[in-house]
Amino acid sequence: MARTVTTQRKTLNTALAWAVGLLIFFPIFWTILTSFKTEAQAIASPPIFLNFEWTLENYAIVQERSDYMRFLWNSVIIAGGSTVLGVIVAIPAAWAMAFVPSKRTKDILLWMLSTKMLPAVGVLYPIYLLFIQLGLLDSRGGLVVVLMLINLPIIVWMLYTYFREIPGEILEAARMDGATLKEEILYILTPMAIPGIASTVLLNFILAWNEAFWTLNLTAVDAAPLTAFIASYSSPEGLFFAKLSAASTMAIAPILILGWFSQKQLVRGLTFGAVK
């Protein structure tokens, strides 16, 4: 018997969802608002909400002081490159685990996930030394590989979950029709898992975009992405909150827009298989 939901209940749920959404978005909103204030207005107590003279001065200063486009381009290359590379490596791995599982598949999946529990700083020196030896310091290529490896467990896990929802019989039928392994993955499995792959790509792009530990420690000038751009405006001795907010807004704007346009895909992918 279908459960009936009263209008009152629906309204309450909607209001609650909006309240939670606004609460989560509020820090971002406040950052954007602060970026249009003067430094004095930014630290005013009680805080000024909307009643202030809006200024673009902070954006002008940030633009003049930093080469924003260079940081942005590096972020796009590093986040995009690591995501694409990660998906290329993860699709065959997830296929194997989903359709040809062994006794140890579950253990391997858990072990992969456990590597995410290692504090990054614990391997900073070994990776830094490797980067020196390979000449990869301050290179986008090096960061693409590191971020791909860091996010790989999540990519494999997500794809594995999506692939498990696809009936194995379909792949068997393809095999009986003479499809090779490559054709099976490329032309049968991948198109069927597009929503899952899309949400995996989006989520990992966001994770790589926001990654701050490795991008700050392994870059200097040539490969520095937007995380380094933001870090250059943070100061423990001096109140530069308005400028920092302008820099943060410029750094998150591309990913906010991307998230806004792809939210349907993202939600569908993330809730895939959650309700049966």
Partner 1 sequence: MYLRNALRAATAMTLVATAAANADTLTIATVNNGDMIRMQGYTDKFTEATGIDVEWVTLEENVLRQRVTTDITTKGGTFDIMTIGMYETPIWGANGWLVPLDGLSEEYDVGDILPAMAGGLSHDGTLFAAPFYGESSMIMYRTDLMEKAGMEMPDAPTWQFIKEAAAAMTDRDAEINGICLRGKAGWGEGGAFITAMSNSFGARWFDEEWKPQFDQPEWADTLNFYVEMMNESGPAGYATNGFNENLSLFQQGKCGMWIDATVAASFVTNPNDSTVADHVGFALAPDTGLGKRSNWLWAWALAIPAGTQQEDAAKQFIEWATSKDYIELVAESEGWANVPPGARTSLYENPEYQKVPFSKMTLDSILSADPNSPTVKPVPYVGIQFAAIPEFAGIATQVSQEFSAVYAGQQTVEEALAKAQAFTAEEMEAAGY
Question: Shortest distance, CB of residue 44 to partner 1, whole angstroms?
Answer: 7
Rule CB under 8 A: is residue 232 a binding residue for partner 1?
Answer: yes
By CB under 8 A, residue 234 contacts partner 1 = yes
Burial 108-118 (b: 16+ CB within 10 A, else e): ebeebeeeeee
- Tell me whether residue 36 or residue 233 sits nearer to partner 1 (CB atom): 233
Q: How far is the CB of 235 from partner 1 (least distance, A)?
A: 4
Q: Is residue 183 involved in binding partner 1 (CB under 8 A)? A: no
Bond prior to 101 in cis (omega within 30° of 0):
no
> Exactly one of 24, 236, 275, 276 binds partner 1 (CB under 8 A); which one?
236
Residue 54 C-beta-side C-alpha neighbours within 13 Å: 4
Query: By CB under 8 A, is residue 137 in contact with partner 1?
Result: yes
31 binds partner 1 (CB under 8 A): no
233 touches partner 1 (CB under 8 A): yes
Candidate ranges 11-19, 120-128, 169-177, 180-188; the one touching partner 1 (CB under 8 A): 120-128
CA–CA distance, 27 with 43 (Å, rounded to integer): 15
Based on the shown chain and the rule CB under 8 A, indicate whether residue 12 belongs to the binding site for partner 1.
no
Element at 182 (helix H, strand E): helix 181-183
- The distance of closest approach from Cβ of residue 51 to partner 1 in the complex, given in angstroms and rounded to an integer, is 17
Return the structure tokens found at 110: 């858990």
CB of 46 to partner 1, least distance (A): 10
- Residue 216 as a binder of partner 1 (CB under 8 A): the answer is yes
Q: Is residue 44 near partner 1 by the rule CB under 8 A?
A: yes
**Which range, of 10-18, 103-111, 122-130, 183-191, touches partner 1 by CB under 8 A?**
122-130
Closest contact distance (angstroms) between CB of 222 and partner 1 is 9
Q: In whole angstroms, give the CA distance from residue 36 to residue 30.
A: 10
Interface with partner 1, residue 231, by CB under 8 A: yes
Phi first, then psi, for residue 209 (nearest 5°) are: -60, -40
CA-wise closest residue to 111 among 93, 125, 124, 95: 93
Give Cα 271 to chain centroid, integer Å.
Answer: 17
The encoded tokens of residue 215 equal 């991008």
Contact 234, 116 (CB under 8 A): no
In this structure, how many other beta carbons lie within 10 angstroms of the beta carbon of residue 192?
17
- Applying CB under 8 A, the residues found at the interface with partner 1 are 39-40, 43-45, 65, 124-125, 128-129, 131-132, 137-138, 216-217, 220-221, 224, 228, 231-240
